Structure 1
Amino acid sequence: MRAFYHDNVIADQTALHDSGRAVSEEDLKASGVLYWNIPVEDDGKWEDEIDAVARDRQYKNRDVKESSKATLGESYEAMAKMVYKEHMHEDEEIRFVLSGSGFFDVREHPTDSWVRIHVSKGDLLVVPAGIYHRFSLDSSDYMKVMRLFKDEPKWLAHYRGAETDENPHRADYLKNVQRVTALAA
């Protein structure tokens, strides 16, 4: 995993867009974004580590999804646009990368700057409920992820707007980030 501020150039969403300004894992944590690296090896030990994280964080369900032009076919372009449009969820978004690579962009609070997180095989990322974010494959055009869920598998996006800004999950997220920031000061 490597995190950095997005260069804000509006162009190919699969390009790196690295501004040259790094973001630390601690800074991500202050925004509620959690990260683990669990090497995916043939010995299966990674599965035990994923199971341990799932037990600790009460993730009850999981599935595996592949994203690429080859696997999504005609729905690829629409899907790529949909997940790249700025949105939030009322649940955590938990992704463990089994192969391939891509980007999660999260909005930093209170600056509203985009932080780009480049993830690849072995990276486990937890994007908190209520944070504005988006996703894109990188130029490799392939990612296989295990999605983990606290309850039944679902993916319901609330696209950014006045109504979503008032969503209780968004309000809770902002309170938590402000509390963490105040404690760190």
Structure 2
Amino acid sequence: MSQMTKQALANSLKSLLQKKTLNKITIKDIVDDCGVNRQTFYYHFQDVYDLVDWIFHHDFERLLKDYSDYTNWHQGCRRILDYMQENRSLVLNVYHSVNRVQLEDYLKSWLKPILSSIVNEVAQSMEISQENREFVTDVYVLMMVGFFMEWMEYDMPKDKLGKLDKLFYCMDGSIAYTLGKFEETK
């Protein structure tokens, strides 16, 4: 029942975001739209931003569960981009309602585990220190965050998705190559 209530609150917020910006939506708006009381909202979430965080975390986890290894991670990221495009009003409202550092930190928090897993998978047969694995992971995370932020800055135009696809193309194989460079310099 708890997951259903959370999802109902999430659906209400998404629906409200079609009509107004995140900073104009109140908890009263959400509970009225959802048909629950304020106490139910506060039982599950601290505030509207906590609900937004739950939406992204829940949806991204679902989208990425089968796409976190070296052979298909970019397909998972592409699914996230498609999700963001489908939920454009939610994403852009969040983008315009929080500061850039918060959003970058959030993007890093969901990209880092994926890329860390991939780096560790590729490096398992190599002799590379944990420090260098983390460095390589951070480089790729920052590169992707930069592209995501630029895409959102320009209101997520579909024609810019090709640029992100090119990023994935550039990254394909380059993780193994980069790790190989670190192995050579041990």
Alignment TM class, shorter chain as reference: under 0.3
More helix by share: 2
Higher relative contact order (CA 8 A, sep 6+): 1
- TM-score relative to the length of structure 1: 0.22
More strand by share: 1
Q: Which has the larger radius of gyration?
A: 2
